[in-house]
Chain A
Amino acid sequence: MKILVVDDERDVEDLFRQKFRKEIRNEGLELVFAFSGKEALEILETTNPPQVASVFSDINMPGMSGLEMLGIIKSRFPQLQVNMISAYGDTDNYTRAMSSGAKGFFTKPVDFESLRREIGEILRS
């Protein structure tokens, strides 16, 4: 089960890999990382339908913002679940994300327990 994480902060990769070490080791979770919206779309487009089960993306990124990317993903791969993560948990961002078809909305600093539950659900589905 592949999950794509999109964030311009590279340390996010280390963070996620360690946080979900058990899931990776024991539950077949595979994490893929992209550091911009553009990169994320490239990864998704390698196969159709994408081999990725779900996407977790930051909103504030240089170039294409997370919300822009969300729109593109939803137009191309409507079935793909996308969760947004933002440092700014304001209603504006939340509303925009949810109306654009996001499955969930997490605020930074990420509550990894809720994130783990979400990923657990994906893994079990």
Chain B
Amino acid sequence: MKGHRGFQMRLSRRVGFLAAFFNLLTVLVSPAQTAEGLTSELRKFENSPGFESDTTYLNKANELGFLLAESNPDSSLVFLNSTILLCREASYKKGEAEALKIYGNALQNTGDFKGSIEHYNTALAIASEIPGEKQVPGILNNIGLVNYYLGNHTQALNNFYDAIKRADLTNNANVKAAAINNVAMIYFEQGKLTEAKEKYRETLAIYQAINNPGRVILAYNNIGDVELRQNNPLEALNTLKIGYRAALELKSPEFIEMTSRTLADIYSALDSLDKAEALFRESISMSRENGYGVPQAHSLIGLADLYYKKGKLAEASGFAKEGLQQAESMAQPMLIRNANELLSRIYEEEGNFAEALQSFKLFKLFNDSINTSQAQRLTASLEAEYEFSKRELEYEKASLRQKWIIFSTIAGLIAFLIILFVGNQNKNRLNKAYHALQEKTAEIEIKNEKLEKALDQLKATQVQLIHAEKMASLGELTAGIAHEIQNPLNFVTNFSELGSDMVQELREERARKPEEQDQSLQDEILADIQVNLDKINHHGKRADSIVKGMLQHSRTSSGEKLPTDINALANEYLRLSFHGLRAKDKTFSADFHTDLDPNLPKAEIVAQDISRVLINLFNNAFYACANAEFRKENPDVKPMVELSTKLVGDTDRRQIQITVSDNGPGIPSAIADKVFQPFFTTKPSGQGTGLGLSLSYDIVKAHGGELKLKSKPGELTTFTIFLPV
């Protein structure tokens, strides 16, 4: 709203410039003179006879007419008409054309554009007959202005360009610059700001060339105005400072007022409200002093806007009303519109809704007219409508309050319904979104539950698989275990039987006569009994340790790490593995060899876990080199599994290295990196879980160790376990 309003104000100021423009034209024609001075001069002429046909007198009369047309257009018409008649009677063509033109100016100022253009055309026809056609460019320029006011921008531009061409021919730099200025004005209004600025710069160049300080200031003022419109208030400020300084130097109230007004607009845009206020006040006081009606209206409205911005409604209202009155007296629709717009807002904030409505209606009325750029409507219909609406308002004034109450009630009700509707819409939308969200959440929850269930199942399956793997390796061991237990049990049986025999033998020996007794035999028997008892003890313990190991293997890991003799553990499970395989497969034939480091320190391990690793490695090794198929295909290879232990690494990081090698077919490099993956197996289905090496890998890792594979296909496969000491 603020930007739009600013634009309107600037537009209205343009009208102010134009008014100033006519004045300037006269100033240029002759030295600055007041209406009073001219009147007294004319009086002097009127004392001498034949003054009516004196061109000097008629020129003076035109000068006065010009001033009157600007300051008091309505009452000037009679005087101007008399001048026209005098010139016509005197056959003073130049004077007549001038007087007709001025009459056009006056009509233009009253808003009678139709009449204005008729007079201009008559003036143009006369001026065209005068050799040199010096007045033609100026009249064309004025016709262009009327067309501009009527909204016929194309026609106006044609007139202005025509004026420029004619001015060029007659070397009339002032009119040329004025016409260019008006072209710029149209571009400005059409929003072609770059073009407008360029044209204003052309005028600046011309005025600088002909050394017209006033017009130079005007050019600066207009350029700054464009820059302000281009949202470049700082650039505009710089431009205007030049213009304002020049105006002060020139001591021209007109230009001081103009530049201070534009500066005020710029400061207002920059929100430097105090500076803007001072300048507006300067503009107002100067306008009052010098009778610049339009500028005064402009600055009053600008000042009102400042106070409105400050929240000082009473002052704002006062200035706005004064500005409106002034604008109305000067018939400035844009300023009227702006004032009404501002007033409606002020009234609204004051709570004076009836007045606010009235002002707003007026604002709408003027705004619509201006926006359609139909000056015809602006003059004819607008004024009529304005009057009509005024009367209508007066008529309705009595019931206005009542109507206002009804109106505001209805408006309030509508607003309430709209709010209710919008609120309901929003609520529905929110509800929908909320429901969608809830559904999503429920969905996610269900999915989550499913995933959790799946995870639980997977965990259970994993536990089962680990158990199955354990059982599978145990199953493979069963036969080995049986054999390993059977052997010591046999020895226990045999040696105990033997002991029994020996005791019997000893008894028999001792039953002999003392002289027949063989003392050395008795000693020998006793020594043998002792040896046998030791053997029985040894093999009993051997069976015991195997049973314990088996139990430990099948039990769930306690996870407790205990110092363990790796050599003993590895050796035991090598034998278990070997005998297990042999017991299962009668054709099984393989050799094994151990190379155990006797100085190996004990390792902190979970023995039952590491034993599972070892069983896996031994079983795999024996299977690889001694399975029936391989042996059939490679009859020359003597299946051999080698176990070795060694202490490796630096003193600060010593490791126990356990290697299990076989001379089987080897593992192709293509699958070498897969063997540690779960469920990977090369055994026929149902014969291997595919978990042995995977679990082994995990177990060794859990011990902070490493399990590595090295294989030369066709030669050997070596699995190496590294365990930290």
A residues bordering B, Cβ < 8 Å?
9, 11, 14-15, 18-19, 21, 60, 62-65, 67-68, 87-88, 92-93, 96, 108-110, 112
A28 to B438, CA, bound (A): 100
Q: Using Cβ atoms and an 8 Å threshold, which residues of chain B touch A11?
A: 491, 495, 535, 538-539
Q: A110 touching B582 by the CB < 8 A rule?
A: no
A52 to B532, CA, bound (A): 28
Q: B589 touching A18 by the CB < 8 A rule?
A: no
Nearest chain A CB to B14 CB, angstrom units? 116
Contact partner of A65 (CB less than 8 A), chosen from B486, B489, B582, is B582
Q: Using Cβ atoms and an 8 Å threshold, which residues of chain A touch B578?
A: 62
Q: B592 touching A19 by the CB < 8 A rule?
A: no
Q: A87 touching B486 by the CB < 8 A rule?
A: yes
Contact partner of A14 (CB less than 8 A), chosen from B497, B535, B586, is B535
Residue of A nearest to B493 (CB): A109
Residue of A nearest to B589 (CB): A65
Q: Using Cβ atoms and an 8 Å threshold, which residues of chain A touch B583?
A: 60, 88
Is B531 in contact with chain A by the CB < 8 A criterion?
Answer: yes
Q: Using Cβ atoms and an 8 Å threshold, which residues of chain B touch A110?
A: 490, 494
Is B483 in contact with chain A by the CB < 8 A criterion?
Answer: yes
Further pairs besides A109-B489, A112-B494: 5, Cβ < 8 Å = A18-B532, A19-B498, A64-B589, A92-B586, A109-B493
Nearest chain A CB to B430 CB, angstrom units? 82
Q: A18 touching B579 by the CB < 8 A rule?
A: no
Q: Using Cβ atoms and an 8 Å threshold, which residues of chain B touch A68?
A: 589
A92 to B583, CA, bound (A): 12
Q: B523-544: contact bitstring with A at CB < 8 Å (1 yes, 0 no)? A: 0000010011001001100000
Nearest chain B CB to A11 CB, angstrom units? 6
Nearest chain B CB to A113 CB, angstrom units? 10
Residue of A nearest to B479 (CB): A88
Q: A64 touching B591 by the CB < 8 A rule?
A: yes
Q: A62 touching B491 by the CB < 8 A rule?
A: no
Q: Using Cβ atoms and an 8 Å threshold, which residues of chain A touch B370?
A: none
By Cβ-Cβ distance, the 10 closest A-B pairs, closest first, are A63-B591, A109-B490, A109-B493, A87-B486, A108-B490, A65-B589, A18-B498, A15-B494, A62-B591, A62-B592
Q: A87 touching B532 by the CB < 8 A rule?
A: no
Nearest chain B CB to A81 CB, angstrom units? 23
A66 to B129, CA, bound (A): 149
Q: Using Cβ atoms and an 8 Å threshold, which residues of chain A touch B590?
A: 62-63
Q: Could you pull out 8 A-B pairs where Cβ atoms are within 8 angstroms?
A: A14-B535, A21-B528, A62-B578, A63-B589, A63-B592, A64-B591, A65-B588, A92-B586
A15 to B539, CA, bound (A): 13
A11 to B493, CA, bound (A): 13
A67 to B586, CA, bound (A): 10
Q: Using Cβ atoms and an 8 Å threshold, which residues of chain A touch B538?
A: 11
A120 to B528, CA, bound (A): 23
Residue of A nearest to B532 (CB): A18
Residue of A nearest to B592 (CB): A62
A109 to B528, CA, bound (A): 20
Is B428 in contact with chain A by the CB < 8 A criterion?
Answer: no
A63 to B502, CA, bound (A): 35
Q: B487 touching A15 by the CB < 8 A rule?
A: no
Q: Using Cβ atoms and an 8 Å threshold, which residues of chain B touch A96?
A: 586
A65 to B582, CA, bound (A): 9
Contact partner of B498 (CB less than 8 A), chosen from A9, A15, A62, A65, is A15
Q: Using Cβ atoms and an 8 Å threshold, which residues of chain B touch A15?
A: 491, 494-495, 498, 535
Q: Using Cβ atoms and an 8 Å threshold, which residues of chain A touch B579?
A: 60
Q: Using Cβ atoms and an 8 Å threshold, which residues of chain B touch A88?
A: 483, 583
A88 to B586, CA, bound (A): 10
Nearest chain B CB to A102 CB, angstrom units? 15
Q: Using Cβ atoms and an 8 Å threshold, which residues of chain A touch B497?
A: 112
Nearest chain A CB to B470 CB, angstrom units? 25
Q: A109 touching B591 by the CB < 8 A rule?
A: no
A62 to B13, CA, bound (A): 118
Q: Using Cβ atoms and an 8 Å threshold, which residues of chain B touch A63?
A: 589-592, 638
Q: A60 touching B483 by the CB < 8 A rule?
A: yes
Contact partner of B586 (CB less than 8 A), chosen from A18, A64, A93, A109, is A93
A112 to B583, CA, bound (A): 24
A110 to B535, CA, bound (A): 17
Nearest chain A CB to B587 CB, angstrom units? 9
Residue of B nearest to A65 (CB): B589
A112 to B496, CA, bound (A): 13
Nearest chain B CB to A69 CB, angstrom units? 10
Q: Using Cβ atoms and an 8 Å threshold, which residues of chain A touch B487?
A: 9, 87, 108
Q: Using Cβ atoms and an 8 Å threshold, which residues of chain B touch A19?
A: 494, 498
Residue of A nearest to B491 (CB): A11
| Most chain B beta carbons < 10 A, residue from A11, A63, A87 | A11
Residue of A nearest to B531 (CB): A14
A65 to B502, CA, bound (A): 33
A64 to B592, CA, bound (A): 10
A18 to B494, CA, bound (A): 10
Q: B467-502: contact bitstring with A at CB < 8 Å (1 yes, 0 no)? A: 000000000000000010011011101110110001
List B530-584 residues whose CB lies under 8 Å from chain A: 531-532, 535, 538-539, 578-579, 582-583
| Most chain B beta carbons < 10 A, residue from A14, A62, A67 | A62
Q: Using Cβ atoms and an 8 Å threshold, which residues of chain A touch B586?
A: 67, 92-93, 96
A25 to B5, CA, bound (A): 139
Residue of B nearest to A21 (CB): B528
A88 to B497, CA, bound (A): 21
Nearest chain A CB to B538 CB, angstrom units? 8
A11 to B592, CA, bound (A): 20
Nearest chain B CB to A42 CB, angstrom units? 15
A109 to B483, CA, bound (A): 12
Nearest chain A CB to B398 CB, angstrom units? 129
Q: Using Cβ atoms and an 8 Å threshold, which residues of chain B touch A92?
A: 586
Q: A18 touching B528 by the CB < 8 A rule?
A: yes
Residue of B nearest to A19 (CB): B498
| Most chain A beta carbons < 10 A, residue from B493, B498, B538 | B498
A108 to B485, CA, bound (A): 12
List B568-625 residues whose CB lies under 8 Å from chain A: 578-579, 582-583, 586, 588-592
Q: B502 touching A60 by the CB < 8 A rule?
A: no
Q: Using Cβ atoms and an 8 Å threshold, which residues of chain A touch B486?
A: 87, 108
Residue of B nearest to A9 (CB): B487
A65 to B579, CA, bound (A): 12
A11 to B491, CA, bound (A): 8
Q: Are A87 and B490 CB-contacts (below 8 A) given A11-B535, A18-B498, A65-B582?
A: yes
Nearest chain B CB to A16 CB, angstrom units? 10
A14 to B531, CA, bound (A): 9
Q: Using Cβ atoms and an 8 Å threshold, which residues of chain A touch B483?
A: 60, 87-88
Nearest chain A CB to B560 CB, angstrom units? 33
Nearest chain B CB to A96 CB, angstrom units? 7
A93 to B586, CA, bound (A): 7
A15 to B531, CA, bound (A): 10
Q: Using Cβ atoms and an 8 Å threshold, which residues of chain B touch A9?
A: 487, 491
A110 to B490, CA, bound (A): 8
A11 to B488, CA, bound (A): 10
A26 to B243, CA, bound (A): 150
Q: Using Cβ atoms and an 8 Å threshold, which residues of chain B touch A108?
A: 486-487, 490
A87 to B491, CA, bound (A): 12
Nearest chain A CB to B537 CB, angstrom units? 12
A112 to B501, CA, bound (A): 12
Q: Using Cβ atoms and an 8 Å threshold, which residues of chain B touch A67?
A: 586
| Most chain B beta carbons < 10 A, residue from A14, A18, A67, A68 | A18
A60 to B592, CA, bound (A): 13
